[in-house]
Amino acid sequence: MPRSALTTEEIEAFRERITDAATHLFAEQGFEALTMRAIAIEIGCSPMTAYRYFDGKDDIFTSVRARAFARFADNQEAIARAKHADARSKLAALGRAYIDFALAEPDSYRVMFELTQPGVSADGELAEQGLRAWTPLYEAVRACVAEGELAGDPLVHAHLCWAKVHGLVTLHLSGKLQMGAGIGELYDCVIADLLQSVRPVAAPA
């Protein structure tokens, strides 16, 4: 019949090459340099070749985001696997790692959270890696509940912890913070605040 159809592995390999090129271009020269033709040059093929492996540019970008989430999830999972004195210090370590990752790779963090346009499907690889990235923090908070360090709903408190680090990182990366130096102190405080909020507190008004 036909020329031997591409294996699933071959397809996945090519998808990975394209995602690699796109990730590289984005990290190197920013979003507006992420072009179909630029990707094609990087790959060494025609601009239309990518269309056989992706639905279009948005799909490629979604793949880039999923990869960024995957690397972030790897990072968080590694911290979660490491030994910690107790649940609270584990949570603090996860928060530190979260911030460190975002500041070490601001482009990755931006592509994960900032350039999110509505209309992307909630399922697929992106959702899966996003869940992976979120799980360590959630489990750490649940552990704090199990050890009696936390009174309320773990889901609520985990979201609160996430919002604190995410908010500070986002404001920092977009240049909104008014304090030039002393940012380190600010991050210390947000970590301390993470731990403080998981102590039993009076019910909110």
Could you list the residues that contact DNA (CB under 7 A)?
A: 1-6, 14, 34-38, 45-49, 51-52, 56-58
The dihedral through the CA atoms of 135, 140, 141, 146 has a sign that is positive
**Whole-angstrom distance, CA of residue 173 vs CA of residue 180:** 13
- The partner in contact with residue 78, picked from DNA, a second copy, none with C-beta cut-offs of 5 to 8 angstroms by kind, is none
- Integer CA distances (angstroms), 90 to 73, 101, 149, 166, 185, in order: 16, 16, 13, 18, 20
48 binds, among DNA, a second copy, none (CB under 5 to 8 A by kind): DNA
Distances (CA, A) of 79 to 26, 43, 74, 92, 160: 27, 34, 9, 10, 20
Considering the complex, what minimum distance in angstroms separates the CB of residue 49 from a second copy?
25
Which positions lie near a second copy, rule CB under 8 A?
31, 113-114, 116-118, 122, 130, 134, 152-153, 155-157, 159-160, 162-168, 170-171, 174-179, 182, 185-186, 188-193, 195-197, 201, 204-205
Nearer to a second copy, 44 or 184 (CB): 184
